[in-house]
Amino acid sequence: MDWRTKFDSLKSRIEARNRIITETGHYWGIDKFALLDEDPVKFNRFNARLISAVMAAREIGKYVAASPAATGMGELVFGLLTVEGDCMAASTGLVGHSATMPVVLESFCELGYDVNPGTKHGDIWECNDPYYGAPHAADCFTWVPIIYKGTLVGWGGGVNHIGEVGGMVPGAVPPIAPNVFVEGYDYTVTRSGENDTFYPWWEDAWKRRTRAGEMNILDNKMRFAGCGMIRDRVLEICEEFGVEYTIQCMYEILEWERATMEKRLQKWVMPGKYKVPFLQPVKYKGKLGMLIPEANKNWLLHWPLVFTLGNGRATYDFSGASNQDWHHYNMYMGGLRFGINLAWYPVFLIGENMHTANIYLMDFIRPPGSVANPTNPFVGTPSSAVMGCRNGQGAMMRALSKALWGRGYVEETFVFEASDYNMYGMSGTFSNGVPWGMSNFSLVGAQHSGARAFMDGGVCDASGQNPETDYGESEDWETIEPPLLNIIRGVTTDYCVHGKYRGGIGYTLAFMVNEPGQFFQVNDSCSMNAEVTTHCIGPSGSYPGQGHAQVYIKKTNMPELIKKGEYPGSFREIKQWIKDGKLTCEEYIINQGEAPPRQLEHGDIYCILAHSVEGWGDPVDRDLYRIEEDLNFDYISPEIAKRIYSAEVVTSDGIYEIEPEATAKARQEILKEREKNSVSAIEWWKEEREKILKKEVGDEEVHVLFEQAIANEKWGNYFREFWGLDKDYSF
Amino acid sequence: MKSEQSEVDISVVASKERIRLITEGKLPWELCQQMMRLEEKDEDRFLKYMEVLQERVPWKEKILCRMTEKLYVVRKDDGSRIVKCICGQEYGDYRINWKLSCRIRVRRSKEEWREVMSMEEVIPNPNLVESREYYCPGCFTRQGVEVVPVGYPAIFEILPDIDLVYRMHDKPLEDESPDWFQDKTADLTSKWAKEV
Amino acid sequence: MAMKGKCIIALDAGGTMTDTFLVDEQGSFTIGKSLTQPQDESISYMESVKDAASSWGLTSKEVHANGVSSTYTGTSMLNCIITRTGRTVGMLLTKGFEHMVFMNRGLTWLGMSFTDRMHVAVHDHPAPLMDRNNAKPVGGRIVGGTFFVGCHLEAGTEAIPLNEDDVVKGVNELLDAQVDVIGICFQCSYANPVHERRARDIALDLVKKRGMDIPVLISNDIAPRRGENMRFKSLLFQCYTAEKTRAALANVEAKAQADGYKFPLQTMLSYGAIVNIKYPKLYEALSSGPIGGLLGAKWLMCDQLDIKNVVAADLGGTSWDVGFMVKGTLSIKSESDFARHRLNVPVLNLDSVQGGTGLQLHIDEEFKRITLGPESAGNLVGTCYKYPEITIGDCDLILGYLNPEYFLGGKINLDKEYALQCLKERMADPLGMDVYDACEDVLELLHSKMADQVRDSLLSKGYYPRDYTLCCYGGSGPMHMWGVADKVKLAAVATVPWAAAFSAFGVATADYFHRYGNTVNVVWTRKMSDEFKIEQAKAMNTTWAELEERAYVDFENEGYSKDKVVMKYAVQARYVGQLDSWEVDSPVGRVNTVDDINSVINSFETLYQAIYPVGARFPEVGYAITECILLAYVDRTKPEIRKYPLESEAPSKECFKGQRDVYYCGEWVKYNTWEMDLLKAGNRVKGPSVIEHTMTTVVIPPHKMIDVDEHLVLWFKDQPGTVKKEKKRKKK
């Protein structure tokens, strides 16, 4: 049996594909490349044609869009899918998002829509529902069938991240959304138009269900325009190569890519079992109150990814993950696969095909009913994609990086912060009474890389979503958020993680609220790891990435200051001016991580501190010349050079230098202190064990974390064995 | 500019010397990029890497693989495979989390955090997590750090499948056994448990 | 043959070669080449002109003495960036934005190959062109207007007044730091330059007080467009490179004039305009090289032969550059990447892909993966000459397309045997193929890449290949155009005897003009009353008026009086809310009536619908005009295109050079060889043939032929009574 078999539905066709892959280990059982061997060059040429089709779709399609994320930063992706939905070629851009296309198409087939209502040339299909495989509501997926003389050849698909999804809390990724009924405009698998034209109700729905209808319609038109271009080009290709060749060749290419990746996975990484857990706090307590009582609490979510690299396969084990619950951090498969591919492509991609064949090299253990595999269809999902990132581009990327390093490919050790986006949402009413809502994506566009095993982290040199880093232009962003007058976009002195090599220098984005009109509020989403660190492990003795914060400075004297052309130009200056009384305020609020909506008025300052990524190695081993450079670039202050690196700093005409001898002595002192302040492992073990037995583990959410994790048999045994507790111990 | 890439000769770009330099953080960035740009990586990299590492340590035991900046898995004459610090300190069987052979410093209060974190505004919440620093009992290098809730098991960062990697390089180890890829941490903790 | 009367001298200097195109009053032309000398371009300039002159039996003196114009597009700007030898720049930036100097908008991947772009770990920032400590903060803020029309502050409103103390402090620090030039780039100055201008006045005062002579430039004069990072880069390039470039060009000018040339040297800007080297915004001369050919194709095909839809394609050693003319006009894009920086400077639209005969071949044995490039042998050709790796050039050679004895007219000898051996060992054997089949298949791959690029550049912008005529040039273009002609259905395919110096030819044909643009924020929605629409349009008229003033001043500097200047008008338009605009002509110079407004809207809708499916239209939201553009022209002598009398269909005896074996469709075929320079108008050369020229080779497979028309344009056609052969495959 192969793909030529007559199937009564796509559902059964997909089942056949899956069975054959499991049996043979090859995609559709293709163990030799008939077309490739027959004529390698024709094969290569065919592939080049498909790639140029999806590239062209993106290049030209993006100009239709309205959101700066799409046009300015290229935050969109187009892909060509096989009949079963495997993406065999995707454009540049949001490359990770192509991984979710197959999941949505699988839902489409699962729902039997190919049979009833069925689909024909000119239909437009849409879905942004994580339950059906979309990363989250902000990532809208549009696709069209490619039908050549009655034969379904595949699908043209496009995804982009829209500016406003119409949730209870405005923005693209609402920071509060306990259930699907308040998280925004989720549409299930939907036919939005026929004959290349949207239904009128579909465009109207955007205007009625979101706060940026016209912008969202333009983005939708952009996605459709690109899909249409892919479809028409592939039809030409069928004409030229023949439909049989086209379909078979797409399959061979997928198997070809799968096999190539398998080879890399065998040759490049240190096989072994990697533990890369992280924590995700969620804070709802007191925010929903009696409104949604089941969600009136805080969580510390446990994401205990165990990542095993074997002989050409990777296993993701989420045993011990927290339970699904009434918050927005429940992760579906679409979100996970999206996040995985974000980190997978940069390492394992070769040639020019951006594809999803890698999924056939992966195994997943996702306990049902956990945040890693929700069974309750109503729990919130806006951060499904974000959790995918934190597991894929976060945890997995760190394991891969260490695995490449362990195998000797030191040059490939590379991490950056997948999770700490801070895309902030906002809404308000202008002075003329016009209501509006928007979100800003620019901090995602250019984050900082962490330290590598051989060098320091960078500045604006990596992006969570798009290999082609780009934070766009403030002058563009300001046009969609008029009350936010951008006064600072720069790096933050001392905001980095220290080590032999230090992580990238953090980022400050600050605004003065300027004539907000009748009402204005902002909220921070996707700013993860509040009150914890970005990951649990710091590499080789450095610390993991520091969290993320916003500072709200309310009722200030800015209106007077700016009359003289004065305002603070850096976070350090903000703090200094407040200390000196030059900048006055009634409230100075520091918030770590996601923030609920906060109303702001003219003259208030809204300041975001984002992106600090782990270092590498022991700070005591850091070369002095590196510290001097950091000082002279104002990346770190002399005080920190002393405190963290025990560097004895002197200045000669404005240039910082470090005293080698004095520093060496000071570092010896540090080592002595370490001896003094540390205990033996067994002493430590006994002490912490006591705390466990006494349940002295901290706030309520930590208790819940342990309860739920230990309830999982696998993780529970691991826990009990580590602390030498009886088999029947439960927390 | 592109044509510069074409002079790339893998035996130079990924030579033992270059591997040593990048391992020590001394390889110029342009040459690091050359290494990254290799069409196909040098397949014997692991073996070259092990040689480079072996030449950098002051002791004789054969390095089987690398665990952290300063920790290695080595084979002792008695056939055991143990974790060893570049300073000479030995940590015992690599299948037991090496962190349980370290001196440990726990940080809980914000004051303690300030000594290691330079950004006041983002110091973690002591009621959620603590910081654990793992020092080498020999040289007191900070070998590892983890930030977890009180009572969270010390994270066994990696259990390498050493037999497999050598088999992949057609240099199978004579003492191959499935037992080498087992987490044995419980052996130690159960011993400790008897003392309480 | 000798030169008749006055002549036009045009040079195009690339990374490796400097080409000269020389044409006299009657339109007779000749071409010359020399190796580019980046250290002192006046040397390669003179060499190249001598080379061209010599083919007419003249000296460079005689040519220069009769030259009505000499135009030189050089590489000095690129060199200035690469060798980091620009001026020491000081900048005043809006307080809080100083770090843009090294944050660089996060654009760490510009100019990298596709694989590298996907490989984040390899990305890095380009080497900085200025010391970050020479970026000084200045308080003050202007707002840029909003997407929510009429809901918030108008574009250009002052939100925070200029902090003049900051200006004084900053300028003094920069002068102490001994910068050569000061640039000023403030947020949203595109919408209102009042702060930048005030800061400049203060700065100039301080400079004067110190008795120094330091120029002070503002971003609004250099690139008044939205996008602070790109505007800053444009200003930085102007500050860093412009004067160095001017000096380098002045050096060439001096040499030319010393050799008898009587006029100012001219050069070309990135959007195809010719200016003389006094032009103030000389940074716009960046990357003008590859576009010369576009202009040549436009002038030859559109203006002379009246063919309105043309694809111009240049196949060089490393890249395959494709641009096109729709209804006789070239399209412009308003940002460009140069030497890994992204600038806000208008450039002619040109799609460039890996291509060319210098491309290195990569073979993945296990997966039979063949990759072309990205590395290129450049002028080292391949293993047959001085390059260590196998290249397309090697394939061309062993298949018989290239004549080892006649490469660059025999100046270089190619080692066919060695190339054959390398290709066999490194490609054919791993692929398990016959070496000649393998080589032919590689060309097949190259040809389909080229063909796709042609097809994509058209289709992706909504145009239909069958409406377009391909004009193919560049050193290797004529050798491979047959491959493209077989794969894309085009209206016609042509090349010219001077294909190898076509860019230089294009330079000779370009117009003398300046382009000015300024951002505006004009919106026309259905809800608006006509009065309100017209009211808004006034902003466009005032902008155009300002731009006209600027134009007159600049031309004054270059020695052209007001009455010599002719103006054309255009706008950047979009649907409200879109972030990208499309440039369309404004049929009227000022917009005063609703009809005027509709005429602008119509030209936008016409273009938009040509590109996108109906589903992508969105007139309901209304239209936005985001930039007013002014094109100011003065007269320039263009080359005559000479008409030759049509002669016999059969080429003359002496034109025939003999025969050689060429591998085609899996077998060896006898190809006739001809001498290009001896071909006459009216001649027909039937395939299988190779037409040889010192600098290029035209390949004509058995089923094709070439007709030489009265302008010596070579038309590539199907040969009646022949059919394209199907490839015979040997058993492996």
Q: Write out chain A residues lying below 8 Å of C152, CB-based.
A: 430, 482-483, 515, 517
Sign (positive or negative) of CA dihedral A56, A144, A469, B41 = negative
Tokens of C69: 């114009």
Residue type, B193: A
Question: So what's the ipTM on this one?
Answer: 0.92
Spatial contact of C222 and C516, defined as CB atoms under 8 Å apart:
no
Candidate from A44, A64, A461 with C-beta closest to C616: A64
Contact across the interface for B3 and C388, Cβ inside 8 Å = no
- Please give the pLDDT value at position B2: 29
- Please give the pLDDT value at position C614: 64
- Percent of chain A beyond pLDDT 90? 76
How far apart, in Å, are the Cα atoms of A474 and each of A207, A487, A633, B84, C633?
26, 10, 23, 52, 35
Spatial contact of C577 and C303, defined as CB atoms under 8 Å apart:
no
Q: Which of A419, A536, A712 to mutate to test the interface with B (most CBs of B within 10 A)?
A: A536
Candidate from C121, C364, C375 with C-beta closest to B36: C121
Closest C-alpha among C88, C465, C511 to residue C309: C465
The answer, yes or no, to whether residue A326 has pLDDT greater than 70, is yes
Three-class SS string for B119-175?
Answer: CHHHCCCCCCCEEEEEECCCCCCEEEEEEECCCCCCCCCEEECHHHHHHHCCCCCCC
Does any domain span residue B19?
yes
pLDDT in tens, C448-503: 888 888 887 777 666 778 889 999 998 889 999 998 988 888 889 999 998 988 98
Does any domain span residue B129?
yes
pTM for the model: 0.89
Nearest CA in chain A to C110: A468
Segment A622-630 shows an average pLDDT of 96
Residue B54 CB neighbours (<10 A): 15
How far apart, in Å, are the Cα atoms of A725 and each of A437, A695, B101, B104, B190?
53, 14, 21, 22, 9
Residue type, A65: A
Q: How far apart are CA C728 and CA B81, in angstroms?
A: 62
- Please give the pLDDT value at position C334: 77
Q: How far apart are CA C381 and CA C707, in angstroms?
A: 30
Stretch 575-634 of chain A: residues touching chain B, C-beta under 8 Å: 590, 592, 609, 612, 616-621, 623
Q: Give me the residues paired with residue C473 across strands.
A: C314
Spatial contact of B36 and B54, defined as CB atoms under 8 Å apart:
no
Does any domain span residue B34?
yes
Contact across the interface for C163 and A570, Cβ inside 8 Å = no
> Bigger pLDDT: A693 or A417?
A693
Three-class SS string for C590-602?
Answer: CCCCHHHHHHHHH
Q: How far apart are CA C511 and CA A431, in angstroms?
A: 51
- Please give the pLDDT value at position B1: 22
- Domain of residue B109 covers 100-149
pLDDT bucket at A447, cuts 50 / 70 / 90: confident
Does any domain span residue B62?
no
Tokens of C719: 């040969």
pLDDT in tens, C524-536: 988 889 999 999 8
A-C interface: how many C-beta pairs under 8 angstroms?
A: 275
Residue C501, helix vs strand vs coil: helix
Quote the DSSP letter at residue A719: H
Candidate from B125, B165, B195 with C-beta closest to A270: B165
Q: In what order do the strands lie in the sheet with A306-309?
A: A362-365, A314-317, A306-309, A272-275, B158-160
Does any domain span residue B52?
yes
pLDDT in tens, A201-224: 999 999 999 998 888 998 999 899
Whether residue C122 lies within 8 A of chain B, CB to CB, comes out as yes
Q: How far apart are CA B51 and CA B84, in angstroms?
A: 16
Stretch 506-535 of chain A: residues touching chain C, C-beta under 8 Å: 510, 514-515, 517
Q: How far apart are CA A192 and CA A655, in angstroms?
A: 63
Alpha carbon of C362: minimum distance to chain B alpha carbons (Å): 9
DSSP code string of A585-597: -SEEEEEES-EEE
Q: Which of A280, A400, A407 to mutate to test the interface with B (most CBs of B within 10 A)?
A: A407
- Please give the pLDDT value at position A349: 77
- Please give the pLDDT value at position C4: 78
Least confident of A108-122, A478-492, A675-689, C66-80: C66-80
Does any domain span residue B180?
no
Nearest CA in chain C to A196: C615
Least confident of A277-291, A654-668, C607-621: C607-621
Does any domain span residue B119?
yes
Contact across the interface for A454 and B25, Cβ inside 8 Å = yes
Of B109, B132, B149, the position where a domain reaches its end is B149
pLDDT in tens, C257-306: 999 999 999 999 988 888 888 888 899 988 655 788 999 999 999 999 99
Does any domain span residue B107?
yes
- Please give the pLDDT value at position A67: 66
Nearest CA in chain B to C362: B39
Phi, psi of A631 (to 5 degrees): -65, -45
The answer, yes or no, to whether residue C729 has pLDDT greater than 60, is no
The answer, yes or no, to whether residue A667 has pLDDT greater than 70, is yes
The H-or-E segment that residue C160 falls in is strand C158-160
Tokens of A631: 């000082």
Cα angle value A623/A628/A633 (rounded, 5°): 130
- Percent of chain A beyond pLDDT 70? 98
Candidate from C113, C121, C389 with C-beta closest to B6: C389
Spatial contact of C388 and C419, defined as CB atoms under 8 Å apart:
no
Q: How far apart are CA A402 and CA B71, in angstroms?
A: 14
Stretch 366-385 of chain C: residues touching chain B, C-beta under 8 Å: 373-378, 380
Contact across the interface for A544 and B145, Cβ inside 8 Å = yes
Query: Dihedral, CA atoms, B92, B98, B104, B105, nearest 10 degrees?
Result: 150
Per DSSP, helices labelled H in A536-655 are 558-563, 571-580, 624-632, 638-645
- Please give the pLDDT value at position C704: 93
Closest C-alpha among C631, C559, C633 to residue C279: C559
> Bigger pLDDT: C693 or A364?
A364
DSSP code string of A278-331: EEEEEE-TTTSTTTSGGG-SEEEEEE--EEEE-SS-EEEE-TTPPBP-SSS---
Of B56, B76, B91, the position where a domain reaches its end is B56
Quote the DSSP letter at residue C490: -
Cα angle value C25/C631/C610 (rounded, 5°): 100
The Cβ-side half-sphere exposure at C663, using a 13 Å CA radius, reads 20
User: Is the preceding omega at residue C688 within 30 degrees of 0, hence cis?
Assistant: yes
Closest C-alpha among A125, A127, A122 to residue A103: A127
The number of domains in chain B is 2
pLDDT in tens, C360-411: 898 877 767 778 877 778 778 889 988 899 999 999 999 999 888 887 777 7
Q: How far apart are CA B140 and CA A91, in angstroms?
A: 50
Segment A314-322 shows an average pLDDT of 98
The answer, yes or no, to whether residue B3 has pLDDT greater than 50, is no
